Structure 1
Amino acid sequence: MTTGVRRRMGVEERRQQLIGVALELFSHRSPDEVSIDEIAAAAGISRPLVYHYFPGKQSLYEAALRRAADELAARFLEPHQGPLGARLLRVMGRFFDFVEEHGPGFSALMRGGPAVGSSTTHAMIDGVRQAAYEQIIAHLGIADPPARLELVVRSWVSLAESTALIWLDGRRVPRAELELQLVHDFAALGAVSAAYDAEMASILLAMLADEPADGPFGDLVGRLLALAPAVTSGAGAHVPAQRLR
């Protein structure tokens, strides 16, 4: 008869194990609700041993958030091939995969969780947003983005984040619809900006040049054209006479 012997972990290996255990627990419940005792039990070690690797729950929480932030930023990585609309739709699919897998942890990361006010946590959140921004700019192939384009992309990243947080609270809208809607939102933000600025108009036209009719951006155009008759007739009824001349 052989007896199993528990392998002794090295310091870094044990730290990574504890981070993984904590992140898994934070994925199902708010970090505020998870105790060091629970983390120790899930890792199969004693509470004092957790403190040997991390000085407190806050430091373990921040380490878990760092791993989550790195993973979330990686969800925006996408090969620069094919129509932009399809690329963004795949990015949104991976983004919502993360949101769904790590609901409470995602909320904690974006809202600050028990680390509200922590400069470390704020830096992690800003890092995720900056990584997402840089990836989108890279997909557009623009080395020196103008101010209006930066505003569009950063606004869209913020919109995706807030949409996901709202969706987690009840999931009342089908996820696939939200993913497509967010891709449409990107085009819509660009179109509104293009209406005010010639440089943005040229960027938008270049962005749409290779988009297929059955792609996400083509779908948006079709939906808007279907609305156009009702919108124009309704608007015409309310436009002052002097504006119709």
Structure 2
Amino acid sequence: MLVKSQIKLIRSLQQKKYRNQHGLFFVEGKKTVQELLDSDFKAHSIYCTAANLFAVSDDILTEISKAELDQISSLKNPNGVLGVFYIPKAKEVDFTDWIVALDAVRDPGNLGTIIRLCDWFGIRNLVCSQMTVDCFNPKVLQATMGSIARVNITYVKLVDFLKVSDMKVYGAFMNGASVYELELPQKGIIILGNEANGISTEVEASVTQKVAIPPYGGKTSESLNVATATAILLHEIRRG
């Protein structure tokens, strides 16, 4: 059974300032909770409407009613499980493989999809500017489908991060060289920019190679969605 203090805490975690204050975040869905339980993430509490779903201690697991889950869920149609986890400390960035960097990506769905794409293509390090949406936002986590457990996400001042790296820096631009005609190295940094404004002028100064995904046919849309662009670029990077 839920008590008022638990409801208040979990509801507060929908806001970034309270996630930072408590050092906690929550995810929903059996698959995502299990993915985090199987990873290095530490569970604070698990709430579910059915018994014996997870092999965790009784002091962590609480069986609740559907009505109680409705009170703490961020979803219109809660799917039976909500887990609260401690926010982990970011690990050091590994420079031995490709790194995806995001410059002020604001949409939670886009960031969640990009995290999932990094997982799919074996990109273990995702570096985000401080203006990028919080990766522990419930909508971001929902879109990752558990991939947050396998991608090291670090928030940095992007300009400073790029200055200390000796890797070649690629940036996604409309006027760049076609990614299909470039010989891509075994490692590097690929930057994708804000949904409306692209890569900022300040970050652009650190880009050593502009890359574009050329359109085909006649009249086309103005640009690709940033997550879609990430998928194409990572495919080309891994295709080698």
State the TM-score, normalizing by the size of structure 2.
0.28
Higher helix fraction (1 or 2): 1
Higher strand fraction (1 or 2): 2
Bigger Rg over Cα? 1
State the TM-score, normalizing by the size of structure 1.
0.27
